[in-house]
């Protein structure tokens, strides 16, 4: 779905932990740069290529991948996409996420308890899905992501109309939202979800630090926001500022 000139919200069907769902990475371009915000689950590179072709921005033109945070559903197809592009694709993320993205620290949500639970759950899956999950985890062991550019709070990337980086710790320590200055679009990552058409905070149980997450949402009230793109839930354009103020109790 086109949100503004050079801003396309992709809508990619994906098999999530709780069943089938849709992920909404954002595609940005300006004639020189083509940037993707977040990279789906492992194995989704062909879906990205198709969706980008539909937006008339072929994946071969990709120059940068900006990661809002290190969760698997945001970084999974990054390496696969890099491999499908004939030139280097720069990876950008906040300093607080780098060790998790680069595999130097265990992903925050992958505690031994969670891993054991997943193993248990996988036993009850139909053979085909269980094999797909195993293949996914195996493929992850063989890929190494390198972050080329570390992002800081308040930094503005000088392409695609100006992309302001907003450090919004809470969901993860180095989570960022992106504010597109030209179209007043907020790419929320997992700081905000859209659930049944309503803009809501990320569910507390998936946040590393819930009070931090709320403080981060307060930070967003300083921006003039016409549209929010939530990675989980998609577009919200019905007075986002009013709704965010309501959420933070301002």
- Contact residues toward Zn ion (CB under 5 A) are 71, 73, 190
Nearest distance from C-beta of residue 45 to Zn ion, angstroms: 18
What minimum distance in Å lies between the beta carbon of 230 and Zn ion? 10
Question: Is the dihedral angle over the CA atoms 64, 66, 72, 73 positive or is it negative?
Answer: negative
Give me the least distance between CB of 176 and Zn ion, in Å please. 13
Find the angle CA(3)-CA(202)-CA(69) to the nearest 5 degrees: 70
Measured from the CB atom, the residue of 33 and 73 that comes closer to Zn ion is 73
Backbone angles phi, psi at 94, to 5 degrees: -70, 150
Smallest distance from Zn ion to CB 181, Å: 24
Nearest distance from residue 68's CB to Zn ion, in Å?
8
Q: Which two tokens stand for residue 36?
A: 């993707």
Cβ of residue 236: shortest distance to Zn ion, in angstroms?
16
Q: Toward Zn ion, which CB reaches closer, 85 or 178?
A: 178
Of residues 33 and 71, the one with the C-beta less far from Zn ion: 71
The terminus-to-terminus CA distance of the chain in angstroms comes to 31
Q: What is the pairing mode between strands 34-37 and 64-66?
A: parallel
Q: Give percent helix, percent strand, percent coil of the chain, each to the nearest 5.
A: 30, 25, 40
What whole-number distance in Å separates Cα of residue 135 and Cα of residue 206? 25
- CA dist 214 and 196 (Å) reads 21
Taking the least distance from each CB to Zn ion, the nearer of 71 and 97 is: 71
- Reading the block at residue 79, the tokens are 């390496």
CA angle 243, 246, 249 (to 5 degrees): 155
Smallest gap from residue 95 Cβ to Zn ion (A): 20
125: left (phi > 0), else alpha (psi -120 to 50), else beta?
Answer: beta
- In the complex with Zn ion, the residue whose CB is nearer, 172 or 241, is 172
For residues 138 and 133, what is the distance between their CA atoms, to the nearest angstrom? Answer: 9
Query: What is the DSSP annotation of 50-67?
Result: HHHHHTT--GGG--EEE-
| Pick 73 or 97: Cβ nearer Zn ion | 73
> Between 4 and 108, whose beta carbon lies closer to Zn ion?
108
* Size of the chain in residues: 250
């Amino acid at each position: 779905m086109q949100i503004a000139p050079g801003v396309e919200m992709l809508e990619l069907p994906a098999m999530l932990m709780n069943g089938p769902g849709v992920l909404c990475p954002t595609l940005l371009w300006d004639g020189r740069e083509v940037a993707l915000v977040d990279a789906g689950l492992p194995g989704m590179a062909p879906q990205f290529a198709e969706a980008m072709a539909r937006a008339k921005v072929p994946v071969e033109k990709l120059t940068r991948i900006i990661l809002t945070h290190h969760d698997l559903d945001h970084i999974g197809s990054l390496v696969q996409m890099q491999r499908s592009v004939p030139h280097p694709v720069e990876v950008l993320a906040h300093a607080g996420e780098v060790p998790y993205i680069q595999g130097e620290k265990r992903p925050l949500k992958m505690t031994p308890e969670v891993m054991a639970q997943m193993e248990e759950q996988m036993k009850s899956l139909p053979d085909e899905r269980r094999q797909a999950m195993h293949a996914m985890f195996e493929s992850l062991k063989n890929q190494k992501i390198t972050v080329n550019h570390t992002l800081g709070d308040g930094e503005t990337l000088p392409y695609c109309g100006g992309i302001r980086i907003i450090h919004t710790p809470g969901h993860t320590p180095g989570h960022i939202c992106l504010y597109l200055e030209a179209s007043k679009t907020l790419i929320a990552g997992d700081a905000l979800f859209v659930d049944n058409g309503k803009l809501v905070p990320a569910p507390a149980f998936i946040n590393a630090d819930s009070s931090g997450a709320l403080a981060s949402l307060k930070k967003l009230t300083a921006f003039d926001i016409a549209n929010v793109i939530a990675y989980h839930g998609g577009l919200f354009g019905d007075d986002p500022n009013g709704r965010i103020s309501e959420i933070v109790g301002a």
